[in-house]
Structure 1
Amino acid sequence: MSTAATPLLRARDLVKEFRVGRRRTFRAVDGVSFDLARRETLGIVGESGSGKSTTARMVARLIDPTAGTLEFEGQDVTAAGGSGLRAFRGGVQVVFQDPYSSLNPRHTVEQIVSAPLRYQGRKVAGGYRDVVRDAMARVGLNPDHADRYPAQFSGGQAQRIGIARALVVEPRVVICDEAVSALDVSVQAQVLDLLLDLQRERDLSYIFIAHDLAVVRQIAHTVAVMSQGTVVEQGPREQIFTEPRHEYTRTLLEAVPRIDPAWEAARAAGETHEREDTR
């Protein structure tokens, strides 16, 4: 297979079991497989408890899979450790859900954003400050605020700090685990636009974990739908959203609030004050 045709990231039959009590185990993820192409976004959607975040943590090697394999740039990294794991994490970074809980409140932005560089053991002549300031500017933050602490930033700004931290090591893949779900709608749109701009500029690939199908439709090229630890449907974005094949996918789509054009027209004309049904 040619390098051009090889997926950047490939997961095959990933399984994760957690011990519950002395003799029982709970299978949170059961046989998840997918390919992530270069410069593309895979959206993984499902309800809370569907296993999507556990899948993300396995793919990032934050937790080890019970079974299955993970390949990055054609290399098996399922059991990588030591320098191999550090190298993998240089290529695959994570942006977490809660922008505040994922940032050490006692560290400055400079300390937070430079942390992956220190973990990687990358030396920078003159220190990390200029690299951090460049990363902050790229995500729309004022570089002069590098000495401030997370509590001094809004939720949207704090999430941009998390994105800057992920990008500072020049990764190939960024896993966004519910990265906009804690943000207001207007701030969500700004962060999504930023992610899309960065993807075009840096040839990034994303795994975008979300329960909000409307958000996934804006950013994903392909979509995997998870339920009870398994992928029940997977395919191109428009096929999933316009011709879903699995009943669970149809149920998720039917739960998305929709605007009633007739009601909106009446509201604009001042003819109604109440919305009876938005779906």
Structure 2
Amino acid sequence: MSLLEVRGVTKEFVTRGEGAMARKSVFTAVDKVSFEVALGETLSIVGESGSGKSTTARIAARLLDPIGGSVVFDGQDVTRARGKDLARFRNNVQVVFQDPFSSLNPRYTVERIVTAPLTYQGITPKGGRQAYAQELMERVGLNPDHCRRYPAQFSGGQAQRIGIARALAVNPKLVICDEAVSALDVSIQAQVLELLMRLQRESGFSYVFIAHDLAVVRQISQRVAVMNRGRIVELGTRDQVFGAPRDEYTKTLLAAVPRINPEWDAKRRQKEAT
């Protein structure tokens, strides 16, 4: 059974032009999108800006409500979940956002930030919040003694690690990464990707990974969904999508990606096989 099933979800937004007499118009951001994610799997959703991938991610995380379709998590329909049912869902599904600084309260210490999900869920960790926050910091490669610092005292890459630590606090089954590395320098991107993959190997949770960078997607994914104008136009394994794309839009995206060094690619594949 799949951990997450998104079934035919649709989302529309109402927009209005400029001027007092401007008419309203309806924009379909997501149009009958369906996909599944297995436990321990990374499904990447890729597409250009405006393709609907981030809106899809927010629907899957129940940050937005669809006007049609359903979201099923661990066998339970959570599309209209409220109260305790929604709290239970959010205990199992966490989000890492694109801009770490905008998602971290600048007035809170790191300790308070990374243990916030515990507060919302009414969970008291063994050993206390400070010890647990230090454990989370160490787990994501940061100095545990820096828990009393504030977000502004960290670099962008470090701030994103804090966001990842916060997502891990409640031991989720699914982590949704919405352009989680796109705002980082290339060298820092690689470090954060390695961290994300290591954490998945250690804990076995799933990722829905939203990105526009196909080189990043190729590195982290088992399966890839390609979105264009609110619809999934191609869905398959990483090797299928990158090696034998069927849709013309996918071919266009791949043609714009710089060629990957074949020697490096062979080494990566050999590493994954061991």
Report which of the two structures shows the higher radius of gyration computed on alpha carbons. Answer: 1
3-state SS of 1:18 partner = strand
Within 2, Cα distance between the matches of 1:132 and 1:181? 26
Match of 2:8 in 1: 13
Deviation of 1:84 after TM superposition, in Å, equals 0.7
Deviation of 1:260 after TM superposition, in Å, equals 8.8
Deviation of 1:128 after TM superposition, in Å, equals 1.2
3-state SS of 1:29 partner = strand
Match of 2:148 in 1: 147
Question: What percentage of aligned pairs have identical amino acids?
Answer: 66
Q: Are the structure 2 counterparts of residues 208 and 260 from structure 1 closer, same or farther at C-alpha, using a change threshold of 3 Å?
A: closer
Match of 2:88 in 1: 87
Deviation of 1:259 after TM superposition, in Å, equals 6.6
1:59 counterpart letter in structure 2: A
Task: Give structure 2 stretches of 5+ with no counterpart.
Answer: 17-22, 263-274
1:168 is aligned to 2:152: no
Alignment of 1:196-215 (within 5 A): 196-215=197-216
Match of 1:270 in 2: none
Displaced runs of 4+ in structure 1, greater than 3 A? 124-127
1:70 counterpart letter in structure 2: V
Match of 1:77 in 2: 78
Deviation of 1:125 after TM superposition, in Å, equals 5.1
Task: Give structure 1 stretches of 5+ with no counterpart.
Answer: 1-5, 262-279
Match of 2:29 in 1: 28
Deviation of 1:20 after TM superposition, in Å, equals 1.9
Within 1, Cα distance between the matches of 2:126 and 2:86? 25
Within 1, Cα distance between the matches of 2:125 and 2:113? 16
Deviations 1:82-138 (Å, cap 9, x if unpaired)? 111111011000000011111111111011101111111112355311111111110
Alignment of 1:93-112 (within 5 A): 93-112=94-113
Alignment of 1:61-72 (within 5 A): 61-72=62-73
TM-score normalized with structure 1 length: 0.89
Deviations 1:17-52 (Å, cap 9, x if unpaired)? 112237532110001100101111001000000000
Within 2, Cα distance between the matches of 1:175 and 1:132? 21
3-state SS of 1:232 partner = strand
Within 2, Cα distance between the matches of 1:42 and 1:210? 11
3-state SS of 2:101 partner = coil
Match of 2:254 in 1: 253
3-state SS of 2:115 partner = helix
Q: Are the structure 2 counterparts of residues 125 and 236 from structure 1 closer, same or farther at C-alpha, using a change threshold of 3 Å?
A: closer
Match of 1:277 in 2: none
Within 2, Cα distance between the matches of 1:131 and 1:241? 41
Within 1, Cα distance between the matches of 2:214 and 2:9? 24
1:53 counterpart letter in structure 2: S
Q: Compute the RMSD of aligned alpha carbons.
A: 1.4
3-state SS of 1:110 partner = helix
Within 1, Cα distance between the matches of 2:14 and 2:182? 29
Match of 2:242 in 1: 241
Within 2, Cα distance between the matches of 1:45 and 1:165? 25
Which has the higher mean CA deviation after the structures are superposed, 219-228 or 11-20?
A: 11-20
Deviations 1:152-193 (Å, cap 9, x if unpaired)? 001110000000000000000000000000111111111111
Give the length in aligned residue pairs: 256
Within 1, Cα distance between the matches of 2:111 and 2:250? 42
Q: Are the structure 2 counterparts of residues 246 and 106 from structure 1 closer, same or farther at C-alpha, using a change threshold of 3 Å?
A: same
Within 1, Cα distance between the matches of 2:261 and 2:213? 19
1:164 counterpart letter in structure 2: A
1:15 counterpart letter in structure 2: T
TM-score normalized with structure 2 length: 0.91
